[in-house]
Amino acid sequence: MHRNAVVVAQALREAGVRGEVVELTNSARTAAQAAAVLGCPVGAVANSLVFLADGEPVLVLTSGGHRVDVAATAAALGAGDLTRPKAPAVRAATGQPIGGVSPVGHPRRLRTLIDVDLLRHDVVWAAAGTPHTVFPTTFAELVRICDAEPARVA
């Protein structure tokens, strides 16, 4: 297993998560790809998106079924400016590549918002540090393990 996935698996175990990291044969870089590989609705895939809120990295866990509304998300964060960083900044903040960013396993805790639309799904799938690894979880578990703030982000 890739070292990023090992770090995520360890973080999940330490947080008391029962779902385990699954290695996929096909890439799940996008929510649509992950849903196709997993056989689940695209909305049940939690995209882990890094933004810069007034220059500080934040994590937004959003349903794969829609796009983030930047203005609404900035307001939820109390940020004046919300931008998408380039790949090197994402990797610096998370230790993981775009397309594989996990909700956990980062070098330091990131302030995290979680899309309330993920509540619609009993099982939510999230990336596990690479575009080829995922883990099953729930909305409530993501809130707990990420200390995430529920918000309407779309």
Which DSSP symbol is given to 132? Answer: T
pTM above 0.85, yes or no: yes
Q: Do residues 9 and 15 lie in contact, with contact meaning Cβ atoms separated by under 8 Å?
A: no
Contact 145, 138 (CB under 8 A): no
Helix (H) or strand (E) holding 136: strand 133-137
Q: Please check whether the domain covering 3-151 is classified as CATH 3.40.50.720.
A: no
Phi, psi of 74 (to 5 degrees): -60, -45
| pLDDT per position as a tens digit, 70-109 | 999 999 999 999 999 999 999 999 999 998 999 999 999 9
And the tokens for 113?
């918002």
> Which residue stretches of the chain have pLDDT < 50?
none
